[in-house]
Structure 1
Amino acid sequence: MTNSSFGSTTRKWPIGRLLAGFLLFSAAYALANQLPLTHAILYRAAAFDYSSASLAALSFAIQASLLFAAVIWLSRRWFFIALILVTLSAGVNLVYGQIVGDTLDVQKAGWLLTEARQAGEAASEFAGPFALAMGKLLLVLVLLVLARHLLHRPVRQWIRSKRPEGISVAMLVLLALPSLTWSWLGLHPLGAERNVYNYAAALLFADPPPQRAEVTAVPKADPAIRKIIWLVDESVSYDAFDTIIAPQLSGRAAIDFGETAAMGHCSTPSNVALRSGVAVRTVNETTDLRRTASIWGYAAKAGYSTIMIDGQVTGPPQNLLLPPEKALIDRYENAADGLKTDLKIARALNADLKNDGKQFVYALLRGVHFQYRDHYPKGALPPESSTQAQYDKAISYSKQGFFEALLDGVDRSKVAIFYTSDHGQNIADGVTPHCSGQPVPAEFAVPLVALLPPGIEQDYAAAANGGRSLSQLFPTTLSLMGYDAAYAEENYDNILTAPTARYVWFGRGVVPVADGGVIDVQSGESFPAR
């Protein structure tokens, strides 16, 4: 008789080895799911929502048990494949959580896809958080391998002695089961080791984007304004505008509406909301901005040709400019062309402003998306310069000569130009400058400036006393296109001669993943995040 291990005549459980393996696995699972566990269980319990916390704990327990069984049972080859799958999914979750400080869901995964082309800049900007996330992922993998080393051989020897049939197949089916059935069963959330595949499938098989609604309103008269331009800058805060850009507009009869609220603290939701128009009094989580009558439809109905200029990317459109909406634009241009992209856009617009014909132009400027040091020539600042110094330098270089080139020789009697930014910027070392998990007011604070014809500007200038939101740009533009101002205000927001009727802002999930889904939207009487 021996007391050594499993497989002997008298089998004894190696309790110490089993306990050590279980603890190592538990530590790995907790580390991989740190944020989901905290948000779904601890935060819910702290809010006395014990029912939701208990269901979330049960969901995690079942998924962890299935992965634990797989770690114990699967052969070396299948364990290696499972480890790769865990690595990919957990890695995305850890990087996202470390940088943004938030949990991943299907809408945020969709947002990540739209922002994929910014991955290089983001990796450079967030090298520290990225390295920390990779360190956590490596530790997770090491703990899983060690747990398997302690548990696999003795447990498998014991199971083999029972001669079960089909256990490997059953194990693989059970391991995949949560990804296939969790939503259907009403369970949540999915663990970080598997949720990316569920989200990818949801996005892959999502309903095609719907068509935009037809414009039913009819302009009252042919407007005097022939050219309307929206200049939407990238990552320009109101404070930076006030100190760096505003002096360039001195003497140009520019109407400064003061600190204005963006409709999102990320580029995609902000741009989607701008293009779509938002009924601020009635918007809710079931609103689908993919279906609204966009600015392009209104412009076309009023007789304007429509142009979109994107100074940030080459290739396919960004910011959820989906095919049904893009089809409404008469001319779409990629204009990204190095550090002086914005100046080149200004010169091209200047030529358009001198031509005949009615045009509505949405110009998305290159701006100063991080890294800031990538937006001015090398050597313009010492490498050790502060984040604030780099940001200020980037804005100064980006807009150097911009408005002079834009307005040179232009007859402004029939031109309306609005300058703003998609979102603000929180400039501080060690924080996410925008699109953070817990946004601050600085991420929403943007400039809003109007350059309007004489005779119109007085009404707006007299009322430019704050309380504005970018949701007002849409109805104001409709009124300038000849639509009834009362219609524009009733269906969207107050025009810019008055403060906003209601602040509205969107998160990353600005549109539903599927028809009938919900979106991430908030509203209130106060400036966002205050």
Structure 2
Amino acid sequence: MTFPSNNLGTALSIAVRMQKAMKPSSWSSDYGLLCLKLKIIAVFAIFAPQWGLLWQQPMVSGNETLHAPKLWVLNTMSSLLATSSFRLAIVYAVTCLIAMAGLIIISIIRSNAIRGALVFALAICCAFEYSMLDLTHEFSEREKIKMFWEERDLARAMVGFYAAYIYPDVLYSAVLSLIFFLPLPERFCLSKRWALVPLLGVGLATAEIVYTRGIIEAFPLPTGLSANLLSAFLPVGGGWSWIERSGYEFMSGLKAERDFLFPAPVGKTIDHIIMIMDESVRGDYLSVNNYTVDDTPRLKTDTSLINFGVAVSGANCSVFSRVMFRFGMREGDVENWQQAINKPSIWDYAKHGGYHAIYIDTWRSPFNYGNGFTPAESQKIDKKISVLDDPSYLRDEKVVNVIKQTLEAGANEKIFLYVDKFGVHSPYYDKYPREKTIFTPEGSALIDISRAHYANAIAWSVDNFFARLKNVLSMDRTLLIYTSDHGQTLSDSLPLSHCSNGVDQKTVSGEGYVPLFAKTNDEGFGKLLRHTASEGNNHFSHFEIFPTLLLAMGYEYKWVKERYGDSLLDIPASGKKRAFYAGSPTRTRLISTD
């Protein structure tokens, strides 16, 4: 198609005039002032969610009144002054002022490209922090960033699960960001070199977080999230970055090569030891422990099952709980985390006991270790088998065959097989095939729908799994122990399914309730397990499993008990109180369940 030259020239002339008209310099003074006023309002609106002026709830009142993050900067400043850290308080105050100045400067940078890039970063930070505030009543910190990285494979599903909370926060952030991006008349703008101010704020905040080892983490938006994100991935305390070292070895300065002195196994050993760690299975939501539900009918009628009832996990968050478990930590060890994580792991004991150590992972590729695995642990593993079938609910089915094949291949050797099962992590609706739906919601509320999905997921992932495993697995010379990393809230008043911190988020006992049972054909070991399971039902915890594994590997009973306490071969003491840790190793609280 062609145009007469005079028409084309007219069109170009009009386009040029329109482009000039849209430049800030040609805008009326009233319009420029309006944009400036909107930006001032937007700066205050950035902090409205944490002040409790919108739908988010930044303050929770319980036994104590908590004001984080409502007065987050003032609280940090007050703490520094109370401890006479005057120099640090001055540096912190200056950093916060620079961060606040940087927030204002972002909106008045003259360059559209630079302003757009900074506003885009602001939008992401605000959306993330507001969503965190909505779900957890607090802003992000390094430990939460690490946790999200560990569970990044679930990101898409989790966004869908918490969409009702996340989408309004994203929309609010988008509106504020659009206002920040509005161009201003030249007289209100700053040159692009001023863009260094918000970057300087992020740099100073990151340095303070690293210097104080996370004691200082609270800074104004968007500096806070940016600095915590950078500090989480910087090399701190040793030679590797956090990603390369794994979540909790990062905090310990632990070296990959370690030598331990402990005695050789002296007792009778069980040749094949299978330790199955499930994901997000709540102990009192299984038929074997609760007659009011019928989601594990086949497991309930399995006479070979040695059921210890509803047990209590070490912690209510996956990585925290699993690291504690693999290093045999007990109550009190978390307060001395660096010392605890330098103890031998279950892999060290297995290798020292002459076992072929095999790890089945349903979450990560063969050369990628998650769940807080340290380099020292991975070096002790003889073989890692990754099961990553799609759809993901098929993975546990595949694990049954992998267990069978692994034990058959190693029939004439001692094998320690550790399984990180896929389980039923929220959201629950995609953890089972829809054609296997058994339970329907009792009501129309979201919690009713969620519980129905959870029951279906349990029926598929637990009952179906063990029914299939029973058909293919010979228990000859074999011990199997099963539990889950943590439980679930399954509450209509709590947005988080688990991982609440017990400080400014309500933590319920259900987050620590897990199943615990064993199977074995070993006459002596089985007899002792059945006796203690009967006498101490519903009084055990994760803390008794680690020493039980050591006893099965042949380590001497007295030596194990002195170092790791009671095992599943010991009847729990009368009046024993159980508890689990909520939060993370650097910010945790012990939650009592009894």
TM-score, structure 1 length as denominator? 0.81
Deviations 1:412-457 (CA, angstroms, capped at 9, x unpaired):
4522111111111122447322224533211111011122322223
The one-letter code sitting in structure 1 at the alignment partner of 2:362 is G
The one-letter code sitting in structure 2 at the alignment partner of 1:217 is F
Summarize the Cα distance change of 1:320–1:65 in structure 2 as closer, same or farther, 3 Å threshold: same
Shift of 1:122: 0.8
- 2: CA distance, partners of 1:409 / 1:371: 30
Shift of 1:250: 3.0
- Structure scoring higher RCO (CA < 8 A, sep ≥ 6) equals 1
SS, match of residue 216 in structure 1: coil
Shift of 1:311: 2.6
Which of 272, 293, 309 is the equivalent residue of 1:227?
272
The yes-or-no answer on 1:494 pairing with 2:574 is no
Structure 1 unaligned spans of 5+: 1-6, 8-13, 160-166, 511-518
Shift of 1:509: 4.0
- 2: CA distance, partners of 1:188 / 1:411: 52
- 2: CA distance, partners of 1:341 / 1:286: 33
- 2: CA distance, partners of 1:18 / 1:258: 64
Shift of 1:295: 0.6
SS, match of residue 224 in structure 1: coil
Which of 342, 352, 356 is the equivalent residue of 1:291?
342
Q: What does residue 412 of structure 2 align with?
A: 356
SS, match of residue 221 in structure 1: coil
SS, match of residue 560 in structure 2: helix
Shift of 1:274: 1.7
Q: What does residue 205 of structure 1 align with?
A: 234
Summarize the Cα distance change of 1:136–1:350 in structure 2 as closer, same or farther, 3 Å threshold: same
Shift of 1:477: 0.8
Shift of 1:184: 4.8
The yes-or-no answer on 1:444 pairing with 2:473 is no
Shift of 1:168: 5.2
Shift of 1:488: 2.4
Matched residues, percent identical? 21
Q: Is the 8 A contact 1:504 1:522 kept in 2?
A: no
- 2: CA distance, partners of 1:346 / 1:463: 28
SS, match of residue 468 in structure 1: coil
- 2: CA distance, partners of 1:74 / 1:36: 35
- 1: CA distance, partners of 2:168 / 2:470: 48
Q: What does residue 118 of structure 2 align with?
A: 82
The answer to which of 56-65 and 208-217 deviates more is 56-65
Q: Is the 8 A contact 2:126 2:222 kept in 1?
A: yes
Pairing of 1:396-415 with structure 2 (within 5 A): 396-408=459-471, 412=475, 414-415=477-478
Q: Is the 8 A contact 2:274 2:417 kept in 1?
A: yes
- 1: CA distance, partners of 2:229 / 2:571: 44
- 2: CA distance, partners of 1:274 / 1:521: 16
Summarize the Cα distance change of 1:457–1:359 in structure 2 as closer, same or farther, 3 Å threshold: same
The one-letter code sitting in structure 1 at the alignment partner of 2:224 is N
SS, match of residue 274 in structure 2: strand
- 1: CA distance, partners of 2:338 / 2:297: 36
Summarize the Cα distance change of 1:44–1:184 in structure 2 as closer, same or farther, 3 Å threshold: closer
SS, match of residue 334 in structure 2: coil
The yes-or-no answer on 1:457 pairing with 2:493 is no
- 2: CA distance, partners of 1:43 / 1:190: 8
Pairing of 1:444-523 with structure 2 (within 5 A): 444-452=512-520, 453-464=522-533, 465=536, 466-496=538-568, 497-499=570-572, 505-506=580-581, 509-510=584-585, 519-523=586-590
- 2: CA distance, partners of 1:17 / 1:138: 16
- 2: CA distance, partners of 1:52 / 1:257: 50
Pairing of 1:24-423 with structure 2 (within 5 A): 24-31=42-49, 39-42=68-71, 60-145=96-181, 149=184, 153-156=186-189, 169=193, 171-182=194-205, 184=207, 188-206=217-235, 207=238, 208=240, 209=245, 210-211=255-256, 213-221=258-266, 223-241=268-286, 242=289, 243=293, 244-245=295-296, 247-284=298-335, 286-287=337-338, 290-314=341-365, 316-337=368-389, 338=391, 339-353=393-407, 355-381=411-437, 386-408=449-471, 412=475, 414-423=477-486
Summarize the Cα distance change of 1:411–1:15 in structure 2 as closer, same or farther, 3 Å threshold: closer
Summarize the Cα distance change of 1:478–1:435 in structure 2 as closer, same or farther, 3 Å threshold: same
Q: What does residue 3 of structure 1 align with?
A: none
Shift of 1:28: 2.4
The yes-or-no answer on 1:433 pairing with 2:485 is no
Summarize the Cα distance change of 1:370–1:69 in structure 2 as closer, same or farther, 3 Å threshold: closer
Q: What does residue 4 of structure 1 align with?
A: none
- 2: CA distance, partners of 1:33 / 1:198: 22
Q: Is the 8 A contact 2:309 2:515 kept in 1?
A: yes
- 2: CA distance, partners of 1:312 / 1:17: 49
Shift of 1:83: 0.9
Structure 2 unaligned spans of 5+: 1-24, 26-31, 60-66, 246-254
SS, match of residue 372 in structure 1: coil
The answer to which of 327-336 and 284-293 deviates more is 284-293
SS, match of residue 524 in structure 2: coil
Q: Is the 8 A contact 2:265 2:556 kept in 1?
A: yes
- 2: CA distance, partners of 1:98 / 1:271: 27
The one-letter code sitting in structure 1 at the alignment partner of 2:327 is S
Shift of 1:125: 1.4
- 1: CA distance, partners of 2:77 / 2:509: 28
The one-letter code sitting in structure 2 at the alignment partner of 1:177 is L
Q: Is the 8 A contact 2:50 2:69 kept in 1?
A: no
Deviations 1:451-475 (CA, angstroms, capped at 9, x unpaired):
2322223333333323322122111
Deviations 1:119-166 (CA, angstroms, capped at 9, x unpaired):
1211221221221221121132134346x74xx65544xx9xxxxxxx
